[in-house]
Structure 1
Amino acid sequence: MRFTLRIAFAALVMSSPSALAAGSKAPLQIVVSIEQQSLVVYDGDTVIATSKVSTGKAGHPTPTGIFSIIEKRRHHKSNIYSNAPMPFMQRLTWSGIALHGSNHVPDYPASHGCVRLPSKFAAALYKMTGYGMHVVISDRQTTPVEVSSATLFQPNQSRPRGPALSDVPLRPAIGELNENAVEVAMADKRPSPVASDQEEAPIRMLITRRGVQETVRDLQTLLNMLGHDAGPLDGFIGPATLAAIQSFQTAEGLPADGKMTQGLIEAVFRKAGRGAPSNGVLRVRRQFQPLFEADVTIAEPGTALGTHLLQFQDLDPKSGQGKWFGISLENQLPKATKKRLGITADADAPAAFDAVERTLKRITVPEDVRERIAGLLVNGSSLSITDTESGLETGEGTDFITTTRTPRS
């Protein structure tokens, strides 16, 4: 399949690259289909450019999921595969996945994990993209569609009156590691992204299920508040936290076994005058740096959320309203993961026309958090929703990275 370029694509290539940088009026996103060995560039739900690609061959699979461009180099060589040239390299993960040009792009998977592009197209695409542009890699072709939901944020919502009470520092994502991680486009240094004024840069949001680390950290916070020294708020149950739990149990006339049970958690929350801990968390980043996180509530927790990416754009300065465009990906969770998360029912199929809307209806975000996000929302901001995070791929110098594990048919 030969790649095709529309007139709109040529016009974008001729424009200044800064026009597509963070906070621009024309945020784009890239969708790669492994099944069709194709790449499509979208402006909202409008196709801007298409190309054939070659993804990872057997033994070196290209991971599927939600990524963003975290590094760009016109001239790059692989330090794993004999200094193989990788012109117009656009990195998606620090573990080695990237888009790059190649003189060998067959109509079948042939790379060592990266997404190969025809050389001319790679050069043109390089001029269109900016740091933080989303790249979705899916087994099957998926297309952005406009999404309307009261859960989604709009800039014309009332602005925050002060810092959100739920504001706490973010920590690196912790979760399941990708067992098939590959290293192709490794670099020694992680450059800082070149972006516009921070206040105008798009934010990245992630809504996922609350993990053990968040619960432990809240427990540590409340134990400290109640006078039982739990040590640093690191989310890990160390000697200090165990001693604090025993101290609390002794003070409350409970068996001092030092165990963190659901009953113990509820007792600490009651003593501190707090409700039960929430079952969801919303994290916010900007320019690859954490901003804050907050509790959210997920209804019907026994049903999977699925994996979705929504991007905000086309903001109308007069009305203060913009559009959200959503993509849903297949993500078949392992049985062990479902059991750990208490999931007994699968999410709607990604192809369902209202899959994103149905998931959004189940999520409640506190009003003070909505107000704060309203004040940060600009063109190109995005929201990812998923049941599990991707492990250590999300970290220093990245947006939120969500890897899916859909088996190929």
Structure 2
Amino acid sequence: MQKIAKTDIGAVCGCLRMTTVAAFLGAALLVAATPEPAQAQFYPWGSWGNPGGWKPKPRRARRVPRYVEPSDDKPATALPKPTGPLVLVVSIGKQTVTVYDDNKVIAKSPISSGTSSNPTPTGIFSILEKNRTHYSNLYGGAPMPFMQRVTNSGVAMHAGDLPGYPASHGCIRLPYSFARSLFGITDIGARVIISDDDLTPAEFNSPRLIAPLPPDSLANNGSGPVPAAATGTPGEMLSLTATENTQKRRTRASAAAARVIERQRLATNIVEAENAKRAAEDQAKAAADAVQAGREMIRKERTEEGRLADLARKAARDADAAAARFTALTAKMAKVDAAAIDAAEFEKQSGEEVAEETKLLDAMDAAVVAKRVAATQVTKSKQAVADAGALEKARKVAVEDVKNADTVLASAKDTLVAADALEARKDSPVSIFISAKTGRLIAKLGFAQVLDVPVTIAEPGRPLGTHVLTATTFTEGEKALRWNSVSLRPSEGTQYSRRKKRRHDDETPVAAAGHDADAASALERIEIPKETAELLAELMKPGSSFIISDYGLSRETSARTEFVVEPWRSRPDSSESRYY
């Protein structure tokens, strides 16, 4: 066998390497020499990587968290159908919610309220909205099943996880099965009281409470004259029998009949207001036409004034010209020697002088007359301007009368609309709020305000406390109402009040009421005007409520809510709505 030297082997390997490199270089040059499509030459995504060009990827739809009820949640016993208005008491301290129906506990459940950094507000609220499947728009679309809103700013009761301690962003979490059962028995407007303590409604009665109007069968047991009715306000529809001025005791039926009569009167007021507006509009049109005629008269008189002024100036010029001619003639005749002319020539010159003198006198008379006529026309023009000014004033008065008539008509229509709205809500319970801070009584039907009047509070420097009185049922024979009472005593130890300095430094706190400030004592110190009490008597029924407080209304109170009372949040302006 022939042996190959190491040097030969190295040479062969070198040739192989050179051949391989040359092959790669040749392939690269071949590719580079091949013309690319225009797309590949100008766009980085063309040719090799993506021959079809760039295509946008479809945008993925946002995944909304899906509500899945926990499998380990024990099914709750169906809650009994309420016999009257419900009162829900949420205890932050005990982390429970208790449902009361006519002072009886019909349900109780653990909860999870807001953390110390996002505390659940305490105070007096009501259910504003219900939604079986609701999702938060602040917390990533988090599901809030069986949501029952209690504030416009987003606090609600809903199903959620209960770790055994406050863990929410401010909402009140309920067990899933209990949230479903509770959702089925509550109504919009149900009272919700949130407190650090576990409060219990107690049966309550006081002669100072406003009694409802009796049925017709009990009308003979009452007494008291009908007060004079206030007109022009929504409250007038609440006491329409007042116009009868009779000593007969009012009943629900008589009040309803009087409301029908009053509505007819309000409808008649609209017809009369429409007629008055039409008459005012006709008067305004006539006044406008008169003003236009007056302006036309001014134009006519001023045109005549200009024409006569031109004539007067022309007559004056003619008189001046006649005077100049007469002066020239007399000067010429003065230079003539009378002895040098014969009688015929003298007679001729004398005739010329007389003729020129006559022309001068006529021109002067014409100038005087033209000046006098022009002056008279100036007076007429001024009178036309004065008359037009008077007509313009009359037109403005007529226009103002139309505006006033339109205001009266709008007011009449608004009154009828308010009356109809009130009539439509007459079966709703009335909610009454009395504030020691403002000294006023406000009444709402549903969420619509129908009264706002001042009240007298004895010993104004002494706190009233905060109390919720709820009418549960009629007594036997519907002569009166049964009431319960819940008194709130906010303390500085609650989560919400501890954050007061940081969140509500601009608000002045109201001194907390002592334990002697009970609801009965508070009612004794409040003097409601008789007319207002008569108005409210027509609306009293089970579900009606009194809220008495040292505070004003919370910023949460609006046309979309019932009365909301919160410690440290008593400014009248509404808060910015945030929906969780």
When the two structures are superposed, what TM-score results if normalisation uses the length of structure 2?
0.46
Structure 2 CA distance for partners of 1:206 and 1:282, relative to 1, 3 Å: same
Q: 2:91 is matched with which residue?
A: 33
Would the aligned equivalents of 1:27 and 1:313 in 2 still touch at CA under 8 Å?
yes
In structure 2, C-alpha distance between the alignment counterparts of 1:168 and 1:319, rounded to whole Å: 27
**TM-aligned CA deviation for residue 304 of structure 1:** 1.3
**TM-aligned CA deviation for residue 332 of structure 1:** 5.1
The 3-state SS of whatever aligns with 1:359 is helix
1:140 correspondence with 2:197: yes
Q: Which residue identity is paired with 1:400?
A: F
Q: Which residue identity is paired with 1:324?
A: W
1:203 correspondence with 2:426: no
Which of 521, 534, 539 is the equivalent residue of 1:376?
539
Q: Which residue identity is paired with 1:300?
A: E
Q: 2:526 is matched with which residue?
A: 363
**TM-aligned CA deviation for residue 198 of structure 1:** 1.4
Map Cα deviations across residues 101-137 of structure 1 (whole Å, 9 max, x no partner): 11x1122101000000000000000001001000000
Question: Quick one: higher RCO (CA 8 Å, sep 6+), 1 or 2?
Answer: 1
Map Cα deviations across residues 338-379 of structure 1 (whole Å, 9 max, x no partner): x979x7x75222xx6x71111111111111111111111111
Would the aligned equivalents of 2:126 and 2:189 in 1 still touch at CA under 8 Å?
yes
Structure 2 CA distance for partners of 1:159 and 1:198, relative to 1, 3 Å: farther
Q: 2:343 is matched with which residue?
A: none
Map Cα deviations across residues 272-297 of structure 1 (whole Å, 9 max, x no partner): xxxxxxxx210001111110111111
Would the aligned equivalents of 2:490 and 2:512 in 1 still touch at CA under 8 Å?
no
Q: 2:554 is matched with which residue?
A: 391
Structural mapping, 1:274-293, within 5 Å: 280-293=439-452
In structure 1, C-alpha distance between the alignment counterparts of 2:187 and 2:97, rounded to whole Å: 17
Would the aligned equivalents of 1:32 and 1:138 in 2 still touch at CA under 8 Å?
yes
In structure 2, C-alpha distance between the alignment counterparts of 1:52 and 1:159, rounded to whole Å: 52
Would the aligned equivalents of 1:56 and 1:109 in 2 still touch at CA under 8 Å?
yes
Q: 2:141 is matched with which residue?
A: 83
Would the aligned equivalents of 2:481 and 2:541 in 1 still touch at CA under 8 Å?
no
Unmatched 5+ residue regions in structure 1? 13-19, 170-195, 212-279
Q: Which residue identity is paired with 1:318?
A: G
In structure 2, C-alpha distance between the alignment counterparts of 1:284 and 1:367, rounded to whole Å: 15
The 3-state SS of whatever aligns with 1:404 is coil
**TM-aligned CA deviation for residue 209 of structure 1:** 2.7
Q: Which residue identity is paired with 1:114?
A: C
Which of 143, 147, 150 is the equivalent residue of 1:92?
150
- Greater helix percent: which structure? 2
Would the aligned equivalents of 2:94 and 2:197 in 1 still touch at CA under 8 Å?
yes
Which of 451, 455, 463 is the equivalent residue of 1:296?
455
Q: Which residue identity is paired with 2:513?
A: A
In structure 2, C-alpha distance between the alignment counterparts of 1:201 and 1:88, rounded to whole Å: 24
Structure 2 CA distance for partners of 1:374 and 1:299, relative to 1, 3 Å: same
Structural mapping, 1:43-122, within 5 Å: 43-102=101-160, 104-122=161-179
In structure 2, C-alpha distance between the alignment counterparts of 1:116 and 1:380, rounded to whole Å: 26
Would the aligned equivalents of 1:159 and 1:371 in 2 still touch at CA under 8 Å?
no
Unmatched 5+ residue regions in structure 2? 1-72, 215-223, 236-422, 493-499, 570-580
Would the aligned equivalents of 2:437 and 2:551 in 1 still touch at CA under 8 Å?
no
In structure 2, C-alpha distance between the alignment counterparts of 1:67 and 1:43, rounded to whole Å: 17
Structure 2 CA distance for partners of 1:80 and 1:146, relative to 1, 3 Å: same
Which of 483, 486, 497 is the equivalent residue of 1:327?
486
The 3-state SS of whatever aligns with 1:149 is coil
Map Cα deviations across residues 82-106 of structure 1 (whole Å, 9 max, x no partner): 111000000011101100011x112
In structure 1, C-alpha distance between the alignment counterparts of 2:143 and 2:544, rounded to whole Å: 33
1:347 correspondence with 2:513: yes
Aligned pair count reads 291
**TM-aligned CA deviation for residue 148 of structure 1:** 1.6
Q: Which has the larger radius of gyration?
A: 2
Give the percent of matched residue pairs that are identical in Structure 1 and Structure 2.
38
Aligned alpha-carbon RMSD (Å): 3.1
The 3-state SS of whatever aligns with 2:80 is helix
In structure 1, C-alpha distance between the alignment counterparts of 2:232 and 2:212, rounded to whole Å: 20
Q: Which residue identity is paired with 1:206?
A: F
In structure 1, C-alpha distance between the alignment counterparts of 2:103 and 2:225, rounded to whole Å: 29
Most deviating of 371-380 and 317-326: 317-326
Would the aligned equivalents of 1:3 and 1:50 in 2 still touch at CA under 8 Å?
no
Q: 1:11 is matched with which residue?
A: 80
The 3-state SS of whatever aligns with 1:361 is helix
